[in-house]
Structure 1
Amino acid sequence: MSTATEHGYTPLTIDTAIQYAKGQSYFTQNEEVYGEEIGDGNLNLVFRLTGQDGQRLIIKQALPYAKVIGDSWPLTLDRARIESEVLTIYGTYVPELVPKVLHTDSVQALTVMEDLSHLQIARKALKKGDHFPVLGEAIGRYTAHTLFFTSDFGMNQQDKKQLQKRFCNPDLCKITEELFFTDPFYDVESNSIDEGLQAYVKEHIWNDQTLLFAVAKAKYQFLTKAEALLHGDLHTGSIFADETQTKVIDPEFAFFGPVGFDIGSFLGNLAIAHISQAGYATADDDRQTAKQSLQQQMMSVWKTFEDEYATLWQNHNVEPHASIPGWSEKHIEAIWKDAVRFAGCELIRRTIGLALVEDFESIADKDRKLAAKTAALRVGKHLLLSTNIHTSEAFVKAVVS
C-alpha cells in the first residue's frame, strides 16, 4: 500500500509528528521534543509529544484502513473531521468532560489536542480494581447534555437536519452495524470464540431465535432512530479518569442515532468490568469493594442522566409539544429500554466478536476467564430478553445475579 494519497495525505511517524508540531509553532524549531506512539486502537495513529519545558500535546491521525484487518478494509479519512467537530460541539455543552481541540488538519486527517496523561484510561484502571467515585455521575451528565442539546428537543429542528448532513458517517456506522449487531450472532470468520465457549454460543446465541429477534429489533433502532448526535463508541477505553475528573475521547464513530445507544454501550462496559473482577481476585483482594463501586456507578450514570435530562427538558426545550403531561416521562422510559437492549448487545459482542476487551482477555487463569465470559453472555442475553428491567437497580441485579 502506498504511504501517501493523491490528496497529499501521508501517515505520520514519530519524527514527522514532531516536525508537524514544530511547523504549527507548538514547539520552537530548535527545541528538543520527545515523541512516543501511544495508540493501541485499530483505526488511528496517536502520538504524545513532550517539549523541553514539559509542555505536552497529542496528535491523533486517522488511518485509511482498519489496522486489525489491513488495507483490505478501507476507511474514510473524513472521520478525523467528524471527531474534531464533535469534540468542539460537545465542548460547548460539557467543556469539563472532553479534551480541548487545539488544531485540525483535514488534508492530513489529524487533530491536535490536549494531553490527558495525568489521568488513567478507565478500562485499564477498573481492571486493576481502582475506584472512580464520580465516573457514573460524569457520564450521566455528559450523555444528558450532549444528547439533549443535539436532539429535536434541544435545538431547532431545521438546524438539526443541517447538522445531520455533516455527520453522515457510513463507514464507521457499518463497522458498528456488523460488529455490534450482526457478526457475533452468527457463525462468521471474524468472531473470536474461546474453545470452551463454542458449544454454548452455538446453542444459546446463534440458534436462539428469540434472542436473534431481539437483536434484530435493537439493530433496527440503531439504523433508523436518528434522535441525537451520538459519541457512537462510548466505552471505558474511550474515557480518561481519576477520582475527581473524567474526560471522554474518541468520538470518531459519531452520527445521529438513538439516545439510548451511548448510555447502553457505557453501561455494558461497566457490566463487563464488574463481571471480570472475579478473574483478578486474590487472597489479599477479593475485589468486593471494586464490585460495589461498579454497582454504584451503574446506578449513578442512569440516575444522573434521568435527572439532568428531565431538567433540560423542562428548562431548555424548543419543541412546543414538550409541555404535554407525561411526554417527558414516556420519552425517558423509551431511552432506558433502548439502553438496556444495547447494553446486552455490547456484552455479547465484546465476549465473542472481533473487538474483544482486555477486561476478559487479560485474565490469566483459563477457568476464570471462561467463567467470566460465560457469565457475560448470560447477562447479555438476559438484558436483551427481559421485560422486567425497569430501573438501574434492576439492571445491577441482572449483572450481579
Structure 2
Amino acid sequence: MSKFSKGYFTMKEADVLEYAKDVLNCFDFDAVLSCKEIGDGNLNYVFRIADEKSGKSIILKQAGPCARISEEFKVSPDRNRIESEILQLQYQLAEGFVPKVFKYDPIMNCCIMEDLSDHVIMRKALMEYKKFPLFADHITTFMARTLLLTSDVVMDHKAKKALVKNFINPELCEITEDLVYTEPFFDCSRNDVFSATREYAKRELWADETLLLETAKLKFEFMTNAQSLLHGDLHTGSIFIKEDSTKVIDPEFAFYGPAGYDVGNVIANLIFAYEHAEAALEDQQQKMDYKGWLEETIIQVMDLFVQKFMALWKEHGTERTSKYKGFDSYYLDNILRDTAAVAGCELCRRILGIAHVKDITSIENLEKRARAEKICLSIGKTFILQRGTLKSGRDFMDIVKNWEEKIK
C-alpha cells in the first residue's frame, strides 16, 4: 500500500517527486522528473513538477492544516477540494480564464493543475511597470460570467442552493470577516501598522464612529448575502498574466457571498499599483504614462463589467421577476455599492492588518510610503462612506485623484 493512501501528511519536495511517480499518471514511464516548491502565498504549499526530457510540467498544490502566514489561523484542508471544484466550474463558465484541473486527491488534500510558468504574477508585473492592454476585457468577462451565471437570476433556485451548501467555507470566511471587516478598524494587537501611519489611522479610522458603524453593516452583509459564487480573494497576487492571457488562480476562499466582493478587490489592488507608481517612479514622464494606463484600466474594469453584466442579464436571465422593468438596474446598483465598500475595506486592511501588499511595503522612501498609506486609507474610507454614489470608473478615479491632491 502506498504511503499516500494511508492518510494525510504535509509533503516536502522529495515526497512530491515520489507522489508523481507512484500516484499520478501525467508523465511518460521514462520521464526524468524534478520538483521545486514555488509557493510564496499565505496559505498553501505549491510545487512545480517537470519532466526534464519532454519539458512537460504540472503544478501540485497542497493545503496544510494551518495558514503559512500564521499558525493562529487553523484552516480546513477541505479548502483544496473547494478550490478544485470551483476551478472546474469556472472553467465551464469562463473557459480560458482559469487553469485546467487534472486531479484532486482528497486523502493528500492536493490539487494537480495546469502549469502557468509562461505567465507572471500580476502584482509583480505591475511593480515592474508592465502594461496589459487586454486585462480589463479579460477580467470583466471572467467576473460578469462567474458572478451572474451562478446567481438566482440565472440558476434554478434549488440547484443554486445546492452549490451554496457545497461551498460553505467557514474557516476561510472567518479569516475574511476578521482581517477585512473587523481588525483594521480598531487597534487590534494582531495588526501590523507602519509607525508613521499609526496616528493617522487612530485619528481618521479608529476614532470615527460613523465609519465603524458602516463597517459593522458591511460585515453582516458579507456574512448573510449568498448572492453569487465568489472567488473570494481576487487580488493581483491571484492573477497570472501575460500580454494575451489572463488566468485567475487560488480560489480557496470561494463561497456564496455578495458579488461586489470580487469586483471591489480587483479595483483596490489596481489602486495599490497606482499608488506604488506614484511613490516609486522617479521619472515624471514614465510616472504620468504608467499611471495614465492604470487609470484607464480601473475605469474600464468598472465600466466594462457593468456593460457585460447587463448584456448577460438580458441573454441568460431566467427568473421571472428578473424581467420586471428596472429590476436589473436595482440589482446592479447593489453590486456597485458593494464593490465600492469592498474596495474601501481592502484598501484599509492591506495597510493596517496582518496581510500587506508589496506594492506599498516595497516603497523604500519612508516618507513616500507613509504618504501612500495615508492616501490609500483615505480613499478606502471615502469609498465606504460614499458607496451608494459610485456608479462608474470615473467616480472611483475622481476620489483617488482628489486624495492625491489633498495629501502631500
Common topology (TM > 0.5):
yes
Residue by residue, what CA displacement relative to the aligned partner does 1:263-305 show, whole Å, maximum 9, x if unpaired? Answer: 0111111111111112221237642222111111111112222
Would you say 1:102 and 2:102 are equivalent positions? yes
Aligned to 2:70: 69
Stretch moving more, 384-393 or 294-303: 384-393
Amino acid at match of 2:20: A
Percent of aligned positions that are identical: 38
Q: How far does residue 177 in structure 1 lie from its aligned partner after superposition?
A: 0.2
| Distance in structure 2 (CA, Å) of the matches to 1:284 and 1:376 | 21
How many residues of Structure 1 are paired with residues of Structure 2 in the alignment?
397
Aligned to 1:302: 302
Amino acid at match of 1:54: G
Aligned to 1:238: 238
Aligned to 2:393: 392
Contact 2:67 2:75 survives alignment (8 Å): yes
| Distance in structure 2 (CA, Å) of the matches to 1:384 and 1:30 | 58
Aligned to 1:280: 280
Residue by residue, what CA displacement relative to the aligned partner does 1:310-340 show, whole Å, maximum 9, x if unpaired? Answer: 1111111110111111110111111101100
> Which runs of structure 2 are paired with 1:285-364 in the superposition (5 Å)?
286-364=286-364
Q: How far does residue 173 in structure 1 lie from its aligned partner after superposition?
A: 0.1
Q: How far does residue 27 in structure 1 lie from its aligned partner after superposition?
A: 2.4
Residue by residue, what CA displacement relative to the aligned partner does 1:143-192 show, whole Å, maximum 9, x if unpaired? Answer: 11001111001110010011111100000000000000000101111111
| Distance in structure 2 (CA, Å) of the matches to 1:259 and 1:90 | 15
| Distance in structure 2 (CA, Å) of the matches to 1:91 and 1:36 | 26
Contact 1:22 1:28 survives alignment (8 Å): no
Would you say 1:17 and 2:23 are equivalent positions? no
Aligned to 2:266: 266
Contact 2:97 2:142 survives alignment (8 Å): yes
| Distance in structure 2 (CA, Å) of the matches to 1:242 and 1:398 | 30
Aligned to 2:159: 159
Amino acid at match of 1:249: I
Aligned to 1:148: 148
Aligned to 1:173: 173
Residue by residue, what CA displacement relative to the aligned partner does 1:63-90 show, whole Å, maximum 9, x if unpaired? Answer: 11012212x4321010000000000001
| Distance in structure 2 (CA, Å) of the matches to 1:166 and 1:172 | 14
Contact 2:120 2:241 survives alignment (8 Å): yes
CA, structure 1 residues 7+392, in 2 after alignment: closer, same or farther (shift >3 Å)? Answer: farther
Q: How far does residue 7 in structure 1 lie from its aligned partner after superposition?
A: 6.8
Amino acid at match of 1:80: N
Contact 1:140 1:303 survives alignment (8 Å): no
| Distance in structure 1 (CA, Å) of the matches to 2:190 and 2:54 | 46
SS in 2 for 1:233: coil
TM-score, normalization: structure 1?
0.96
Aligned to 2:405: none
Aligned to 1:134: 134
Q: How far does residue 390 in structure 1 lie from its aligned partner after superposition?
A: 2.6
Stretch moving more, 254-263 or 13-22: 13-22
SS in 2 for 1:355: coil
SS in 2 for 1:76: coil
Contact 2:239 2:249 survives alignment (8 Å): yes
| Distance in structure 2 (CA, Å) of the matches to 1:5 and 1:189 | 40
Contact 1:268 1:346 survives alignment (8 Å): yes
Aligned to 1:247: 247
TM-score, normalization: structure 2?
0.94
SS in 1 for 2:102: strand
Amino acid at match of 2:8: Y
Would you say 1:204 and 2:229 are equivalent positions? no
**CA RMSD in angstroms, aligned pairs only:** 1.6
| Distance in structure 1 (CA, Å) of the matches to 2:48 and 2:144 | 31
Q: How far does residue 6 in structure 1 lie from its aligned partner after superposition?
A: 11
| Distance in structure 2 (CA, Å) of the matches to 1:330 and 1:260 | 14
Q: How far does residue 21 in structure 1 lie from its aligned partner after superposition?
A: 1.7
| Distance in structure 2 (CA, Å) of the matches to 1:312 and 1:358 | 35
